[in-house]
Amino acid sequence: MKGLIFLFTTALLFSCQKGQVSDYTTYLNHNDTVRYVGKEQCRMCHSDIYDSYIKTGMGQSFHFATKEHSALYNSQMQVIHDSVRNLSYHPFWKNDSLYLKEFRLKDKDTIHLLIKKVTYKIGSGHHTNSHLFNINGYIHQLPYTYYTQEGICDFPPGFENGHNTRFSREIGIECMSCHNAYPVHEDGSINKYNAVPVGIDCERCHGPGEVHVKRKLAGEIIDTSKYIDYSIVNPAKLPVDLQFDICQRCHLQGTTVLNDLSSFTDFKPGMHLKDVMDTYLPKYKNDDEFIMASHVDRLKQSACYGDSELTCVSCHNPHKSVSELDVAYFDNKCKQCHSKCDDEQFNDCTKCHMPKSITSDIMHVSITDHKIAVPKEDKKQKGKFIGLRSINNPKPTKLSKAKAYLKHYESFEKKEFYLDSALQFLMLAENSYVSFIQYYYLKNDYKGLIDYVMSHNLEQNKYSKSDLALAYCRAAEVFALNGINNDAEEYYKRANTLMPFVISYKIKYGSFLIKYGRLDDASDIFKQALELNPTVKEVHLNLGYISILKKNFINAENSLKQAIALDPDYVLAYENLVLAKQMQNKIIDTELYLRKILEIAPNHKAKIILENL
């Protein structure tokens, strides 16, 4: 009982001054031992709220790709075509399951066909439905999105304009943790999950519910009109800064940098977001463009925000779908502060002051601009780059800034000044070992990387397993290129031990072993990868090459043709088929595969080989 008295008395320390860091007692569900119970458990006591919430964009953010939950159902199911790769995509239903067909035509004949079952749709359908597939827990994105506002089917953002990565885009925990309830992520992987819930659930805003459910079932009742129930977070009872942190955890898209040893599932409502991560956006002079999930950044640029205690929930009821609320609902929100506009002639305030506009990052989509402002007709041209700015943390560390510039360079814009800025901050930062490796690797300064690794001791307990493994793998790659093979192998082993479910690390290590003639060891590595995920073309390629070196040509051809079935333009696989046929002195088959290579890559050296046959 003393514990509860202490909790209630500290509630008096709450403050709602904007920007102030507020003292508050830690909620019981912040403890790492408290489990998430799922929104169906919440429904048992809060059915009205559940039934309303499930209709919101958040409630419909992620689900199985069935007719009931897919915006594609009853749409025109349009074929989209990649003119760069000459590949077409067409979704189709088989009973209640959705499939995506990738195909290529030549003279009306289908010369390539690959069908993937769609496991999940991602996106509420208010703007888009994109599509994911699951193989042995590995989740990747499919190259097909339905843009519901315009009723258009097209490639997903990032796949357009010749950047179609087909079926290889990994859906890691950074992406999944905003578009869905927290999944059970496989430790030691990037995109492998042991369990995936459906839809952003109650606990993303209220925190894990296990202790709350147990206490209510035990009969503990708290008068929440007088006291705070510390078994679960009620965002309305939080200080303003912590309310904002709940929303900007996901409604603030940018370059996000985790604090050391933090993960994307560590944040819980009632915590300070900056204690887990910093999110950066590039800032320019006279820049008024905005991206899809920039609601918080845009709102903070509003005079309404600076002059009041305005937060997201001042206007939004998270339990109600925006589509079910009429214009008058939001007008009344405005008129609570702007009383002089309390007249029938002043209506639809957002039409002028928060107009819908296209975003700079997602095509075929328009959203409400959350920068509340008096409209200006004279749009100034975007000016000089100012720098990356952390939106949720006014005082990020030097290391956080360095990581932001490195990540922004690697993920978004490969401009040299990002690396130059990263180096400036790295020189002033502590615990920067893995970031220096990233810098030298991205800079292609292999001598610098080797010298740095050789002259610095690593304290492993200061870095996450994923960051360490990536640094080790990159160090191994550079050491191998420079003939420092013992160290290279050691680093490859470390990377694979730390992250045993990352297929790309196995491919790099296995390729290294092949190069130095350790075919049986390499074969074991690639067979492990094949068992984890049989849809990775590079695994089949390397197993085929090993079989060639062992002169097992039947197995080699089977593996290489499987690689080509996964990618019809896989030149490396065709090159290995040429090698296999040459070793068997099969001239006709050799010529066939050489011509196939030239169909894909007309300037390939296969032309010279073909002339000399």
DSSP string spanning 532-583? H-TT-HHHHHHHHHHHHHTT-HHHHHHHHHHHHHH-TT-HHHHHHHHHHHHH
pLDDT of residue 9: 30
Residue 323 to residue 316: CA distance in whole angstroms: 12
Mean of pLDDT values over 201-211: 97
Mean of pLDDT values over 200-215: 97
- What are the angstrom distances between the C-alpha of 584 and each of 290, 320, 328, 383, 581? 59, 69, 78, 63, 5
Rg (CA), the chain: 27
Residue 557 to residue 563: CA distance in whole angstroms: 10
pLDDT of residue 3: 36
Confidence of residue 64 (pLDDT cuts 50, 70, 90): very high
- For a pLDDT cut of 70, what percent of the chain falls above it? 95
Percentages (nearest 5) of helix, strand, coil residues in the chain: 45, 15, 45
Residue 304 to residue 534: CA distance in whole angstroms: 54
Instruction: Show the CA angle centred on residue 415, arms to residues 409 and 419, nearest 5°.
Output: 60
pLDDT of residue 246: 96
Q: Is the pLDDT of residue 195 over 70?
A: yes
Mean of pLDDT values over 215-226: 93
Q: Is the pLDDT of residue 348 over 90?
A: no
Mean of pLDDT values over 421-426: 98
pLDDT of residue 613: 81
Instruction: Show the CA angle centred on residue 189, arms to residues 188 and 191, nearest 5°.
Output: 160
Mean of pLDDT values over 296-306: 87
pLDDT of residue 242: 94
Lowest model confidence (mean pLDDT) among 237-241, 531-535, 558-562: 237-241
- Answer yes or no: are the C-beta atoms of 284 and 385 closer than 8 Å: yes
Per-position b or e across 43-53, b if 16+ CB within 10 A of its CB: beeeeeebebb
**What does pLDDT average to over the chain?**
92
Residue 516 to residue 519: CA distance in whole angstroms: 8
Greatest C-alpha distance within the chain: 90
pLDDT of residue 4: 35
pLDDT of residue 2: 35
Residue type at 123 in one-letter notation: G
CB atoms within 10 A of CB 554: 9
pLDDT of residue 25: 60
- Answer yes or no: are the C-beta atoms of 394 and 404 closer than 8 Å: no
Q: Running DSSP on this structure, what letter comes out for residue 13?
A: G
pTM, rounded to two decimals: 0.92
**Which tops the pLDDT comparison, 601 or 367?**
601
pLDDT tens readout for residues 226-285: 999 999 999 999 999 999 999 999 999 899 999 989 999 999 999 999 999 999 999 998
92: helix, coil or strand? strand
Mean of pLDDT values over 186-198: 97
Alpha-helical (H) ranges within 412-536 are: 416-426, 433-442, 446-455, 465-481, 485-498, 503-515, 519-532
Lowest model confidence (mean pLDDT) among 63-77, 291-305, 514-528: 291-305
Pick the closest to residue 418 from 381, 385, 467, 452 (CA basis): 385
φ/ψ (deg, to 5) at 178? -100, -30
φ/ψ (deg, to 5) at 482? -105, 15
Mean of pLDDT values over 164-178: 97
pLDDT tens readout for residues 454-466: 999 888 889 999 9
φ/ψ (deg, to 5) at 246? -60, -45
| Residues 6+ away with beta carbon under 8 Å from 48 | none
pLDDT of residue 273: 97
Per-position b or e across 186-223, b if 16+ CB within 10 A of its CB: bebbbbbbeebbbbbbbbbbbbbbbbbbebbeeeeebe
